[in-house]
Amino acid sequence: MTAIRPFPDAAREGLANPQLRANLARATGTIRDKRRTVVEETPDWEELREAGRAIKARTLAALDEHLLVLERAVESAGGQVWWARDAAEANEAVARIARGHGVTEIVKVKSLTTDELGLNEYLAGQGIDAVETDLAELILQLDGDWSSHILVPALHRNRHEIAELFRRTIDREVGDEPAALAEAARTYLRKKFLAARMGVSGANFLVAETGTAVVVESEGNGRMCTTLPAVLVTVAGIEKVVPRWDDLEVFLQHLPRSSTGERMNPYTSLWSGTRAGEGPSEFHLVLVDNGRTRVLADEVGRGALACIRCSACLNVCPVYERTGGHAYGSIYPGPIGAILTPQLVGIENAATLPYASSLCGACYEACPVKIDIPDILVHLRGRAVEAGTEPASERVAMRGLAHTFASRRAYESAQRLGRGALRLVPWARVGPLRAWGRARDLPSREPRTFRGWWRAR
């Protein structure tokens, strides 16, 4: 597994890009305001949060049982289930289905799971083109870019940048107005939809008792992908399962309010297997592990698997708003990415991500299923230390601090030395601690300490 670029290095690039920061501030601010309005009008919002948390906790505690129920239900409805331990098995399952039908081009619904797996790249190596049909995902695909936000993948782009891209790729005459850009994408994609023989989707939820896959979206492209092609493949992480149909009542109130600031998504598509004369004649469900059982084994870290991918935590995070999603080095950016990615890829490969937070707690307050992200961040910082990922200089410094804090005499002596060192303020700007001092203001030196005042009295 390749290590992810250290967050401080990547974040520095985002911080130095004023256009990116302006795009982020405008977009996240708009989404926050819309969400606040629809949440405040919901009198039982906190009860809904608690219900969502409880459902997810119970499901994860018996995930193996629910997955077997799901498998039986999907097969009873005429579908086929594929179990994938890792990205290689999941990608090959999709490619095998495509090859079996002689398919060389598929249409795709926006799916973070397939992005995580690198499905598009794998299919391209097999001679199969995967066309992204979500507008934002299409923008990124046309430019060879990648997602910076869970809900709005092209959040870091403004309409002028998108128009210039479209003029280079799909419509040389398109203008800068949003309606014109949407129409250009619609015209380009309509031909793809009508010619497609195979569609690939993710899933927001999988209902175990009925074998139902659920996708919520705002553009209608998902409905086209899941109804027009003869073959439909849904690729989903094993954590997407919910036990009962009634559980959707809770999550379909959570998700639209927390993601797009709507009471209900414009398109909520649900399908269970196949039915003669309606929709696809063949349905496949690829259930993906890819590190999830490892996350499940951690009693603290498993909370990350409760995520419903609403992106509310990103939109309130002061770190994300200033650095952007690319700084996280993963298709799961922001606070949820800081706790999920290190567990999926191994803490040794993403050791800096748990530190990509001020621990302000805004993410926990916004999370519709009450994932305690700050608690998991602290837990993963501990795991990073246990894995020996911190620099040797930091280990030495922390051992010295532990020795100092263990003795009152040593602690008071260190304070006296620190007061003297404050006279040498430049050492925090130019010496070996210049990186530390660049982001901090040192306290002013007071004429008398509290202990000195106390003793004098």
Domains and CATH numbers, the chain: 42-290 (3.40.50.10420), 392-456 (no CATH)
Mean pLDDT for all residues in the chain: 92
The predicted model gives 312-327 an average pLDDT of: 95
Report residue 267: phi and psi, to 5°.
Answer: -130, 120
User: pLDDT grade, residue 416 (50/70/90)?
Assistant: confident
Tokens of 53: 């948390």
281: number of Cβ within 10 Å: 14
pLDDT category at 437 given cuts 50, 70, 90 is low
Average pLDDT, integer, range 107-114 = 96
Which structure tokens are listed for 449? Answer: 């300490």
C-alpha span between 334 and 338 (Å, rounded): 6
Task: Note whether 87 and 404 are within 8 A (CB).
Answer: no
What pLDDT digit, counting tens, does each position of 370-405 carry?
999 999 999 999 999 998 887 777 778 888 888 888
Lowest average pLDDT, out of 24-33, 158-167, 254-263, 434-443, goes to: 434-443
pLDDT digits (tens, 9 = 90+) for 202-251: 999 999 999 999 999 999 999 999 999 999 999 999 999 999 999 999 99
Residue 432 has pLDDT above 70, yes or no: no
Residue carrying structure tokens 């919520």? 216
At 288 the pLDDT is: 98
419 confidence band (pLDDT: 50, 70, 90): confident
pTM of the predicted model as reported, rounded to 2 decimal places: 0.89
Furthest-apart CA atoms within the chain: distance in Å: 91
Residues 224 and 193: beta-carbon distance below 8 Å: yes
In this structure, what are the phi and psi dihedrals at residue 344, rounded to the nearest 5 degrees? -75, -40
What average pLDDT score do residues 145-161 get? 89
3-state DSSP of the chain: CCCCCCHHHHHHHHHCCHHHHHHHHHHHHHHHHHHHHHHHCCCCHHHHHHHHHHHHHHHHHCHHHHHHHHHHHHHHCCCEEEEECCHHHHHHHHHHHHHHCCCCEEEECCCHHHHHHCHHHHHHHCCCEEEECCHHHHHHHHHCCCCCCCCCCCCCCCHHHHHHHHHHHCCCCCCCCHHHHHHHHHHHHHHHHHHCCEEEECCCEEECCCCEEEEEECCCHHHHHHHCCCEEEEEEEHHHEECCHHHHHHHHHHHHHHHCCCCCCCEEEEEECCECCECCCEEEEEEECCCHHHHHCCCCHHHHHHCCCCCHHHHHCHHHHHHCHHHHCCCCCHHHHHHHHHHHHCHHHCCCHHHCCCCCCHHHHHCCCCCCHHHHHHHHHHHHHHCCCCCHHHHHHHHHHHHHHCCHHHHHHHHHHHHHHHHHCCHHHHCCCHHHHCCCCCCCCCCCCHHHHHHHC
